[in-house]
Amino acid sequence: MSTVSKILDKVKKEGRKSLLEPEAKAVCTEYAIPVTDFEVANNSAEVVEFADKIGYPVVLKIISPDVIHKSDVGGVIVNLKDAKAVQSAYKQIVNSVKKHKPNARIVGVLVQEMAPQSTEVIVGATKDPQFGPTLMFGLGGIFVEILKDVTFRIAPVTEDEAREMITGVKAYPILRGYRNMPPADIEAIVKILLNSSRLVMEHQEIKELDLNPIMVYEKGAKTVDARIILE
C-alpha cells in the first residue's frame, strides 16, 4: 500500500473526514508538492528540540481534529526567533485553544519552518458532481476572497491547461513581475497544479484539497497550509 493510502486509511479508521495539517503535508510531499519543513512536538522540550533542528524563525500551530481554522482559536504563532519565544508560544497556543474550545482534543503542536513572505497563490481541488475532480487556481487574499479571480479546469489537467489556469487569472501580471517586483516562478506553480491533479485523480476519496497559501518565490514555492477533506 502506498504511503498516501496508508495515511488516508488511518484517517478513515479513526472516523475522521479531515486530515491534520502534518498528515496533509505528508501527502503533499509524496506527490512532490513543496511544503514547509515540520515536526510534531508533544511537549515543551520537544518544541525547542525541533525548533533548534529546523532553524529559526519558526511557526507553531495547534494540531487538533476539532480545530479546522487554527488562527480563529489562537492556534498559530509565527516568527518565533529563539528557544525562549518558542517555549512561551507553546504555552500560549495550548492555553488559547483550551479557552476557545475546551473540548478540543490536542494531538500535539506543529513546529515548522517560517516561509519568507512573498506573493501568495492558492491551489484547490473539489469534486464536481458531474465532472469529478476539478482544480482551482488563484492569487491569495483579496484576489480569491473578494474579487473571485480564479480559474478552474477539470482533472486530469495537462501541462498546457495548468499554464492556462495561471495566465488566465486577471491578477496574472503580478506573477509575471512589474516595476521592481521580480517575476514569480511560474514553472513551480505549473508543477504544483500537475501534481495536485495527479493526487486527486489517484485518490478519488479526496473531496477537497486546499493549498492555501502557497508562497511563490523567484525560484521555487512553498505550501504554508494544506487541508485535505475526504468524502
Chain residues binding ligand ADP by CB under 6 A are: 36, 59, 61, 69-71, 76, 78, 112-115, 213, 224-225
- Specify the residue, 69 or 179, whose C-beta has the smaller distance to ligand ADP: 69
User: Using CB under 5 A, which of 97, 225, 226, 228 touches Mg ion?
Assistant: 225
What distance in Å separates the CA atoms of residue 108 and residue 120, rounded to the nearest whole number?
Answer: 27
Among candidates 205, 147, 197, which has minimal Cα distance to 174?
Answer: 147
Nearer to ligand ADP, 42 or 79 (CB): 79
Which of Mg ion, ligand ADP, none sits in contact with 23, Cβ below 5 to 8 A by type? Answer: none
Q: Considering the complex, what minimum distance in angstroms separates the CB of residue 224 from ligand ADP?
A: 4
Minimum separation from the CB atom of position 225 to Mg ion (A): 4
Residues across the chain? 231
Nearer of residues 11 and 76 to ligand ADP, judged by Cβ: 76
Number of residues that bind Mg ion (CB under 5 A): 1
Strand, coil or helix: 136? strand
36 CA to centre of own chain: 9
The span of 99-107, 172-180, 198-206, 218-226 binding Mg ion (CB under 5 A) equals 218-226
* Strand stretches in 15-129, DSSP E: 38-41, 58-63, 76-80, 108-113, 119-128
In order of 53, 72, 157, 216, the CA distances from 187 in angstroms are: 30, 33, 15, 10
21 sits near Mg ion (criterion: CB under 5 A): no
